[in-house]
Structure formats: C-alpha cells, structure tokens
Amino acid sequence: MQQFTVPQFIENEDRIIGSITVRQFLLMLAGGFLLVFFYSILNMGAFIVAAIIDAGITAVVAFYEPNGRPFHYFILSFLQTLQRPSLRIWNKEQTIADIKAIHKALENAPLPKPEFVKKEPLGASHLASLALMVDTGGVYEEQS
C-alpha cells in the first residue's frame, strides 16, 4: 500500500518574507503601483496627501484582521449585511388579533395521547448475529 504525506496546517497562508504572506505582499505591491500612478499625474502637494491616504488604506487592508479574518472578507460581509433586510416578516396578512386568537385556540385544545408500540426484546442469538455482521463489515450474514 502506498504511503502519502497528509498536508498539515492548510488554513495557514504561505509566508514570503518573514511574517508577510503572499496576499499581504500582493496588496502592498498594488498600493505601490498606485503610488507610482499618483506620482506621475499629481503635483507634489496632492501626491503627499494621496500617498498618506493610499498607504493607510493599503496597510489596513493588508494587515488588519478583525476576528482573525482578512479585512476584505470583513468588508464583503459588511456590504452583504447592508443589502439584506434586518427585519424579516413571515406573513404580512395576519394581524396581532389573529395571532392572539390562534394562540388562545391552541391553549384550550386537548393534547392527543401518544400511542405506544410494544416491541419484543431482542434475543441473544439475534444480538450475536448482529455483532458478527458488524465485526465482519457486513461480509457475513447469518443464513436463516
């Protein structure tokens, strides 16, 4: 039988330099390209303001992990929460009076009595045949 190595720690991201992951490196690279773009089109005063804003946003997105998750997952979850309604209503036609009437009717209704089915206890031979079937993985079944 062949032996295979099972990967361990698959939830950890690969590290490139020190503690910087591939995702963080690519985000910082994108922020650097954006700085080069700003430098080419803006004058020095506007570039400094844009560089501070860009560096701040890049650092937050690359390194801040709320609840142990990357920041872009946090932003996506936040946007999905804004799109979904926070109040869910099942049936808009029912009024509070209707619900109270249903509740009162259910309080006064008698509960049905449960039916009990009597089963015969398992014999020792039946338990032994079941144990044999489990032990052999279902290969052996007792012939009747």
Residue 56: Cβ within 10 Å count: 11
- Length of the chain equals 144
**Higher per-residue confidence, 138 vs 68:** 68
Per-residue pLDDT, averaged over 42-53, amounts to 96
Place of tokens 């509070």: 96
The answer, yes or no, to whether residue 144 has pLDDT greater than 60, is no
Q: Domain residues of the chain, as ranges? A: 15-83
> pTM score, two decimals?
0.51
The amino acid at residue 100 is K
Question: What's the pLDDT score for residue 142?
Answer: 65
Rounded distance, CA 126 to CA 123, Å? Answer: 5
Each residue of 10-32: pLDDT tens digit?
A: 777 777 888 888 889 999 999 99
- What is the percent of the chain where pLDDT is above 70? 94
Question: What's the pLDDT score for residue 92?
Answer: 65
Kind plus residue range of the DSSP H or E element containing 52: helix 44-63
Per-residue pLDDT, averaged over 27-47, amounts to 95
